[in-house]
Structure 1
């Protein structure tokens, strides 16, 4: 067990409240839909409601319910009195509620938006890498050369397929940007309720800017930049991917400029790898940023170029093992934090063996938004050339290497950042679980419950079974998953407090042989009902964690901070010390994602529920003796299997031939994939032929017409 002083715990909890209840991460997609007749991307913004400020009564009821399974009876009774005094007429809670109400009236879009950005992200001073940034590994390319995966190229080289895939992904990213800028991306709905699309405006040209005592976020929509930054061997290049007028170029032209980057990195003097500063402590980076700007040279323009860039592209001259338990680390932190710029909202990463993914800075958006981008860009591989006429076939400018003036003081800070990053990376243990034991089809049709709530119970059961130092089962612990509040203007997320008295009653009963299976099934249904009800309330703005954050931010004087209240009671820390931090990125058809744990003795668990498969990533701290990602993975797999005993056999629901039917479906899907690849290849070749010979045909036709006139 990691031992932390009580005061340090309180400080950490205060800083991490938002992140422990943040979206890291992603949001539940169960209710998302698009209408039959697409609506322009931002057409609904004017009719979306503002996020409501929940009542103190709502806070009292839900807070006490979430604390009950976590506290001994005497502590719970004491907390009841604390809450009663806090929400009483004329009490401290009412004072803070009134201040928050007045503050909300002054805010343009939401009472929460500015508070959330500052408290959840920008005031957080620990490294963004792992603590804030998320990772996402893409499916392999449809035409991925198997030899590149079986026998990766030697370290130090870039490969042709790597550059080709990077060019295709860049092109698909530009396609998606065009959908947003032209408002051809259909507006999204939760059933019939429009969802806020504002986060799509913060995906391109967005950067986190280091500062003291807090960072800032820089984002402009539409982003008019024509370039990306490309990192390779720790060097940073400005690479135009659009012409000066914003028009597109063929894939071959993108490949050409990426090849030029690789060539230049081999034959020019290497610049200091200043990107490592973005992997270190935020105060270290803020200090180094000031000193770089003061050092003169091209530093100021370089930083401006990076911050303005549409996104970053990292061409790694190495590859980790094809084993996904290992290869995902290249996308998460690269095992050393180098060749990255962790402040860009999106870093597209392509390894030398062609494996690809994205590392994202979490401040401007929640993971469901970039998740939709990744669905699009990976589903559309292999990329198809954009429409470009021969008259427009003008070469892009040569890539521009960023040359730095780095004083010795900044070099020392770079070493400090490297040490910080290395310690953090070495302390982070992550493993993946992918199983086709079942998926959403089984959970809906056989178990007949919400797939998301089902997985939440499976994770709690795995936690219960994880052995303690004494060998006894685990007791209840605070657990959350993110609930999207995009039904409200500029909505982000709310915390779904998944650990309830009902869910824990089921978990405790499951391995108790004295409890009848009928009783276990009843407890299971009640637990599902309880968890789903909280998630629904949180989705519609009636959670408690964002409300408590808002109330706490209204404390104006140091003396008020020590006033007896919810925030000074021990239950407050316990109830938001989320040792199980979870995120649903279903269906995750095209990618695998994850994030770091939000407390030192906890787990960060990302999951995706496919039709007939489940994916999990599990992270924890190696320095904590009470956690082990691999052991937890084993407990989770056993729980997923054992929970099937509560339900009918699949043959009783689907019939005796269900297994053959699944095999037939898989073959059909594989066939459709092959046909799509052939179709895409045909379209690509057809367009290439048209470009090459179309002008001649047109000229011949004009000549024949002239002869007829004569």
Structure 2
């Protein structure tokens, strides 16, 4: 469930190509890392005790990257284009060539960066320099499974806030405070891949984290330990600072938190029209330059605006109380969590904003910059699993401070900007075509019995579906976590391969028998797993190339960079299929927007007996249709099972 491989490429590619049609939005949505909290170390170890043992992200050799990159071009280029591209790669990496110069600079950068040679490059090129709106283009969404205690068939009337809604919001708030306490106290169990420790740094980047719209690039701000004693609550676009623990962090009961939320409802319900604030939150859905300029204007209008922005920014997280319920149809209900339908009652710059509808349905909209999906994914798992046991172990007898209405001074210019942002948001939202699959015919149990890697199998389902739908194959993105390394984020797995193409051709061939189709599938799966292992080990193609491109210092070097000047570079990372694995999907399921105008954003979660998908595309593209593509995916899921028997 993020955000940036193709986009990062474009941010640097802008300086080496005038083809503006390639400057599109992307994101990186990491697959879930199969972490284990069963530490081989003593039970009392600290969450971050292993950080000194986690190695630094390696810099692959030029030869390694060149070989893997050229192999990734084989299925997408014709013979003439491939020959030209290979010559460009060889020219770049030849002894004494530009590649060696850039590689040397990358190694020098690695000596001065705190955690990784990639860390600053990735934040800037992948996220902060990108100026398209964060809503849809960067932010991800996840919908929690509905509580069995709620009667969703009898939703409260629109315009009201329900007890069930406040109860769930208070319960989740208490559970989130429990998790934050674990991170602050360094008692969250350390995570491992088998016996290898994983980097835990990203857990410091969720609570209290926020993005700041600025020119020429944004900032991301994180704090650890996150010691704020309040959250921000939004209702009908009104924003409140709501203390949920004592002045020194003393924990209170769920009931006390619920009463604080109820005070917000009472305040909004009884608020005179002249006291209602403009829908400032809508500005966070707009183009980053537009929002940065509006924010700067607001800061110049009054010191009150400084204080109000600080109140929102420093909150542990945001709670959005919606006085309505979305349809029970999952194709409809997730849209409220994705973008609210109109971008109202949201603050898209906070790392976590939790959304509660008045029938009790809940979800989260997350800003992707500070952390990858596996981190909030762990938090969300704990949240839903502990829904009935979120009461803190120790409850203090303290009186919570009063709630405060967060107010802004706005002039006519800002009011007009908000109106235009509403128009822009609605246009963008109306252009998104997003639907879901909850496929219950088989899951990981059956796939494992058929000796198939569940993740690699689903990737081959997508390859087959795309070919059936379009009669060709396309560069495909899947994320691999690099948390085996200090400050590790993600690497790209290029799922469209020579072996995936051979599988698709064989599967669709009338001449291939069942055994041959099985053999081709297993070969494609093995090839995918090998790339996944290389990517997780820091030996992928895309991040290294991003680092090398970022080392160019002069226009002459940009012209000499044959590997990046060749059209194959952009073509190979124009991901019409962008996918991520957020398994198992038992407690929640999620999604994100497409990364190119002609593409699909596909999130999937593989449970033991089911597979969930979200599929997004843009209505403005005549080539894409999420619902039709959904049917093609379903056909591929069923046909591949028949072949495996």
TM superposition score normalised by structure 1: 0.86
2:506 paired with 1:500: no
2:251 paired with 1:260: no
| 2:71 alignment counterpart | 65
Q: What is the CA–CA distance in structure 2 between the aligned matches of 1:88 and 1:30, rounded to whole Å?
A: 39
2:203 paired with 1:197: no
Equivalent of 2:567 in 562, 566, 570? 570
| 1:644 alignment counterpart | 641
Equivalent of 1:306 in 309, 312, 318? 312
Equivalent of 2:452 in 449, 453, 456? 449
1:457-512 deviation line (CA, Å, top 9, x unaligned): 0011111111x4xxxx2x12100100000000000000001000100110122121
Shift of residue 27, structure 1, vs aligned partner: 2.1
Q: What is the CA–CA distance in structure 1 between the aligned matches of 2:265 and 2:191, rounded to whole Å?
A: 40
Q: What is the CA–CA distance in structure 1 between the aligned matches of 2:187 and 2:369, rounded to whole Å?
A: 25
Instruction: Say which structure is richer in helix.
Output: 1
Question: Does the aligned pair in 2 maintain the 1:96–1:555 contact within 8 Å?
Answer: yes
Question: Does the aligned pair in 2 maintain the 1:26–1:584 contact within 8 Å?
Answer: yes
Question: Does the aligned pair in 2 maintain the 1:35–1:189 contact within 8 Å?
Answer: yes
2:219 paired with 1:216: yes
Shift of residue 562, structure 1, vs aligned partner: 2.3
The SS at the match of 1:115 is helix
| 2:628 alignment counterpart | 631
Equivalent of 1:420 in 403, 421, 424? 424
2:435 paired with 1:435: no
Shift of residue 418, structure 1, vs aligned partner: 1.5
| 2:137 alignment counterpart | 131
| 2:596 alignment counterpart | 599
2:52 paired with 1:46: yes
Q: What is the CA–CA distance in structure 2 between the aligned matches of 1:369 and 1:382, rounded to whole Å?
A: 22
> What does 1:336-485 align with in structure 2 at a 5 Å threshold?
336-388=342-394, 392-445=396-449, 447-466=450-469, 468=470, 473=471, 475-485=472-482
Shift of residue 526, structure 1, vs aligned partner: 0.9
Choose 1 or 2 for highest CA Rg: 1
Shift of residue 595, structure 1, vs aligned partner: 0.5
Q: What is the CA–CA distance in structure 2 between the aligned matches of 1:100 and 1:182, rounded to whole Å?
A: 36
Question: Does the aligned pair in 1 maintain the 2:286–2:425 contact within 8 Å?
Answer: yes
Q: What is the CA–CA distance in structure 2 between the aligned matches of 1:33 and 1:436, rounded to whole Å?
A: 29
The SS at the match of 2:75 is helix
The structure 1 segments of at least 4 consecutive aligned residues displaced by more than 6 Å after TM superposition are 6-9
Q: What is the CA–CA distance in structure 2 between the aligned matches of 1:128 and 1:379, rounded to whole Å?
A: 29
Q: What is the CA–CA distance in structure 1 between the aligned matches of 2:245 and 2:545, rounded to whole Å?
A: 46
1:76-112 deviation line (CA, Å, top 9, x unaligned): 0111111110110011111111111111111111000
Higher alpha-carbon deviation: 109-118 or 86-95? 86-95
The SS at the match of 1:340 is coil
Q: What is the CA–CA distance in structure 2 between the aligned matches of 1:375 and 1:400, rounded to whole Å?
A: 31
The SS at the match of 2:493 is strand
Question: Does the aligned pair in 2 maintain the 1:15–1:124 contact within 8 Å?
Answer: no
Provide the alpha-carbon RMSD of the alignment: 1.5
> What does 1:267-282 align with in structure 2 at a 5 Å threshold?
267-268=270-271, 269-282=275-288
> What does 1:145-294 align with in structure 2 at a 5 Å threshold?
146=151, 149-268=152-271, 269-294=275-300
Question: Does the aligned pair in 2 maintain the 1:33–1:191 contact within 8 Å?
Answer: no
Shift of residue 554, structure 1, vs aligned partner: 0.7
Q: What is the CA–CA distance in structure 1 between the aligned matches of 2:560 and 2:580, rounded to whole Å?
A: 35
2:137 paired with 1:140: no
Q: What is the CA–CA distance in structure 2 between the aligned matches of 1:45 and 1:259, rounded to whole Å?
A: 42
Question: Does the aligned pair in 1 maintain the 2:251–2:392 contact within 8 Å?
Answer: yes
| 1:689 alignment counterpart | none
| 2:122 alignment counterpart | 116
Question: Does the aligned pair in 1 maintain the 2:98–2:557 contact within 8 Å?
Answer: no
Q: What is the CA–CA distance in structure 2 between the aligned matches of 1:26 and 1:91, rounded to whole Å?
A: 34
> What does 1:605-624 align with in structure 2 at a 5 Å threshold?
605-624=602-621
Question: Does the aligned pair in 2 maintain the 1:253–1:395 contact within 8 Å?
Answer: no
Question: Does the aligned pair in 1 maintain the 2:175–2:391 contact within 8 Å?
Answer: no
The SS at the match of 1:69 is coil
Shift of residue 576, structure 1, vs aligned partner: 0.3
Q: What is the CA–CA distance in structure 1 between the aligned matches of 2:268 and 2:397, rounded to whole Å?
A: 26
The SS at the match of 1:44 is helix
Task: Count residues in correspondence.
Answer: 626
Shift of residue 566, structure 1, vs aligned partner: 1.1
2:533 paired with 1:536: yes
1:194-224 deviation line (CA, Å, top 9, x unaligned): 0000000011000001100100001110011
Q: What is the CA–CA distance in structure 1 between the aligned matches of 2:421 and 2:529, rounded to whole Å?
A: 43
Q: Which runs of 5+ in 2 are unaligned?
A: 1-12
Q: Which runs of 5+ in 1 are unaligned?
A: 1-5, 649-710
Shift of residue 124, structure 1, vs aligned partner: 0.5
1:570-608 deviation line (CA, Å, top 9, x unaligned): 100110000000000011210011000011100000000
1:505-528 deviation line (CA, Å, top 9, x unaligned): 101221211122222121111101
Question: Does the aligned pair in 2 maintain the 1:280–1:416 contact within 8 Å?
Answer: no
| 2:7 alignment counterpart | none
Question: Does the aligned pair in 1 maintain the 2:180–2:226 contact within 8 Å?
Answer: no
TM superposition score normalised by structure 2: 0.95
Shift of residue 181, structure 1, vs aligned partner: 1.3
Shift of residue 560, structure 1, vs aligned partner: 2.1
1:534-578 deviation line (CA, Å, top 9, x unaligned): 000000000010001101111111232222411110100110000
Alpha-carbon distance change, 291 to 282 in structure 1, aligned in 2, over 3 angstroms: same
Shift of residue 151, structure 1, vs aligned partner: 3.0
Q: What is the CA–CA distance in structure 2 between the aligned matches of 1:567 and 1:274, rounded to whole Å?
A: 41
1:200-252 deviation line (CA, Å, top 9, x unaligned): 00110000011001000011100111111000000000000110011111111
Q: What is the CA–CA distance in structure 1 between the aligned matches of 2:603 and 2:627, rounded to whole Å?
A: 15
Q: What is the CA–CA distance in structure 1 between the aligned matches of 2:601 and 2:24, rounded to whole Å?
A: 17
